[in-house]
Structure 1
Amino acid sequence: MHCRSTSVRPQIPVISIVGGKSNSGKTTLLEKLIREAKGRGWKVATLKHDVHGFEMDQPGKDTWRHAQAGADIVAISSPHKIAILESVSEDQPLDEVIARIQGVDVIFTEGYKSGNKPKIEVFRSAVHQELFSKPEELIAIASDISFDNGIPCFGLDDAAGICDLIEEVFGFRGELS
């Protein structure tokens, strides 16, 4: 009998930062969470969903020219960064995109409102009337008002409290634990 080694990839926690509308403060909260997580020694990945499409290449640059010539994947590498741009025929499922990310302690997503990952909803009373997410989808709310619905609620600036909750919920302390 031959035994084959199968490496099981440890499950990286994926947490979606969501809000009911544009300008709800998702990116601002995410910036604070990233800084706090990095201060705790976590390796952090982010994944932004853009339903409108995006361009990272600049017209006329070499990588842009490679893509214009028909390359399906264009990669660029420097001593400090690597970027890989892949042409796709349709929006890719969240789990397929996440499967490409390795070597981090946590993945934060922004813009995946209907994704199946645990969510932290950003709620600002000046912008929102009610929570966008279903309560069972939420691990926390970041808001300028309090909620009494059994879901942990943090101030919009309380990145430390939210990271404490992430450690508690996902049972880790960073450094690829």
Structure 2
Amino acid sequence: MNENDERSQIPVISIVGGKSNSGKTTLLEKIIREAKHRNWRVATLKHDVHGFEMDQPGKDTWRHTQAGADVVAISSPQKIAILEKVADDQPLDEVLARIRDVDVIFTEGYKHGNKPKIEVFRSAVHQGLFSKPEELMAIASDVSFDNGIPCFGLDDASGICDLIEETFGVKGKA
């Protein structure tokens, strides 16, 4: 199996919501914990349209960036981080192609992406579903929907992970 075949077999599921503060991150935290309980290797990809800064001013990697480095990497026995300057927002599939050796990838913030979606819907925040029904693999909500799409409670990470196992055959390493 070549690298592209392996990459294309990693399921990518987008956690989406119509608005900020809809509960996407809270649900994703619960799903990650449940996935780790099942021994899945998990990657997440957060899209930030406003930009972000991981370097701390004055630290070595920040100084490398300020000096003009296009790619700055930092490595320790526990983590590796690679920061790369880019000219424009990168397409989702190009960013995903950099992620390897995981059982599942969850994205947050790619609500217009072309990956299966789990929409977070809270009745106090939303008027209706943001996504088209054909884009959704599930809904996580505080109210029920009768539209043929599996609907889970906002705390039902176990049920959501069961659906992911059934849909994509994800199995953790024993």
TM-score category by the smaller chain?
Answer: over 0.9
Return the alpha-carbon distance in structure 2 between the equivalents of residues 106 and 24 of structure 1: 23
Structure 1 residue 100 corresponds to structure 2 residue 73: no
Please say if 1:128 is aligned against 2:134. Answer: no
* Deviations 1:140-176 (CA, angstroms, capped at 9, x unpaired): 0000000000000000000000000000011232339
Post-superposition offset of 1:8: 4.7
1:159 aligns to 2:157 (yes or no)? yes
Aligned twin of 2:42: 44
When residues 169 and 23 of structure 1 are mapped into structure 2, their CA distance, relative to the original with a 3 A threshold, is same
Q: Cα distance 1:59–1:8, how it changes in 2: closer, same or farther (>3 A)?
A: closer
- SS of the equivalent of 1:56 reads coil
User: 1:64 matched to which residue of 2?
Assistant: 62
Unaligned runs of 5+ in 1: none
State the distance in 1 between where 2:53 and 2:79 align. 17
SS of equivalent residue, structure 2 residue 143: coil
Indicate which of 26, 29, 35 corresponds to 2:27. 29
State the partner residue of 1:147. 145
SS at match of 1:140: strand
Instruction: Give distance in 2, aligned partners of 1:175 and 1:52.
Output: 37
User: What residue in structure 1 maps to residue 13 of structure 2?
Assistant: 15
Larger radius of gyration: 1
Number of equivalenced pairs: 172
Structure 2 unaligned spans of 5+: none
CA spacing shift, 1:40–1:6, aligned 2, 3 Å: closer
Amino acid at match of 1:168: E
Distance in structure 2 (CA, Å) of the matches to 1:148 and 1:104:
34
In structure 2, distance between residues paired with 1:6 and 1:22: 39
Q: What is the one-letter code of the residue matched to 1:113? A: K
Equivalent residue letter for 2:40: W
Structure 1 stretches of 4+ with a deviation exceeding 4 A read 5-8
Q: Which amino acid aligns with 1:110?
A: E
TM-score computed with the length of structure 2 as normaliser = 0.96
Label 1:173 to 1:93 Cα distance change in 2 as closer, same or farther (>3 A).
same
Q: How far apart, in 1, do the equivalents of 2:131 and 2:43 lie? A: 23
TM-score for the superposition, normalised by structure 1: 0.94
The answer to whether the 8 A contact 1:24-1:127 is kept is: yes
For residues 111 and 89 of structure 2, the distance between their equivalents in structure 1, rounded to whole angstroms, comes to 14
Partner of 1:110: 108
Percent identity reads 83
- What letter matches 1:42 in structure 2? W
Question: Alignment RMSD, CA only?
Answer: 1.3
